[in-house]
Amino acid sequence: MALLDKFRLDGKVALITGGGKGIGAGCARAFAEAGAKVAIAARTRADLERVAAEVAALGSEALVIEADVLDFPQLRELGPQVLAHFGRLDILVNNAGGGPPRPTADIGVEEFEGIFRFNVSTAYELSRLCAPLMVESSGGGSILNISSIAGHKPAPCFASYGTAKAALSFLTRELAQEYAPRVRVNAIAVGSTKTDALNTVLTEGIEQTMVELTPMARLGEVEDVALGALYLVSPAAGYVTGDILGVNGGLERLNMQMPRAWGGMG
């Protein structure tokens, strides 16, 4: 096999949460271009149908699953639905998650636990359920968690989101130890990436500051993350597990400047 062929996903099936837009949609397109069939799950059918059409244009097939990962009965049906449609499951991308930077004083424990549930508990439950399905249907597989640089570099106003992503990154390493050698488990620590979620807080001034604080002198594109994802789930990364790949422009501190609780900027 030629080295570049190891990046191919021919015959593989991937399940991607949050697959209707942003990084999830980018992963779906990248995997489809590499030969995989994809199951994309999200809450908004219109977004899913648009991505499915893009996948079809690339010569592959997408299974659209309208579901909310925070509804655990729905979450638990995702793997069985993929098996029923495609007959196998090889790849899981736990992409759904998020949470804006906000002062800790404004986030009560109930909301804190909700952010943790959204970013960590959903990935835990889906990984726990899908890993056996991968082994049973394909002999093994790969799990990829979309984490964040915020889980590695502390900063003001990221106590909830950053803590959740730190937990997701450590969960990645834990599961990698438990599931080796049949199922590889890795994560990507993304930086500021141009998605709809970032656009909700992005102004021209904020973007300029973020770019100035990023060693690579630009914000990330969805394709940057999708290419890292393709590597980690493909045979090219067959000896890689428990790794947290940084796709964040070289950040050594967060580039979104937020105020400290009692004056000053982060």
The rounded distance, in Å, linking the Cα atoms of 238 and 108 is 42
Residues of the chain with pLDDT > 90, as a percent, come to 89
The rounded distance, in Å, linking the Cα atoms of 114 and 143 is 23
The rounded distance, in Å, linking the Cα atoms of 48 and 41 is 7
Longest alpha-carbon distance in the chain: 59
For the domain bounded by 3-246, which CATH number is listed? 3.40.50.720
pLDDT in tens, 133-147: 999 999 999 999 999
pLDDT in tens, 49-96: 999 999 999 999 999 999 999 999 999 999 999 999 999 999 999 999
Confidence class for position 128, pLDDT limits 50, 70, 90: very high
| Confidence (pLDDT) at 264 | 65
Classify the C-alpha dihedral 130-5-19-193 as positive or negative: positive
With tokens 């594109």, the residue in question is 221
Contact 39, 238 (CB under 8 A): no
| Confidence (pLDDT) at 265 | 65
Q: Could you tell me how far CA 237 lies from the centroid of its own chain?
A: 17
**pTM, entire model:** 0.95
Q: Which residues contact 81 (CB under 8 A, 6 or more apart)?
A: 39, 63, 65
pLDDT in tens, 230-253: 999 999 999 999 999 999 999 999
Domain ranges of the chain: 3-246
Catalytic residues, by residue number, are 161
DSSP character for 261? T
What tokens were used for 148? 């964040």
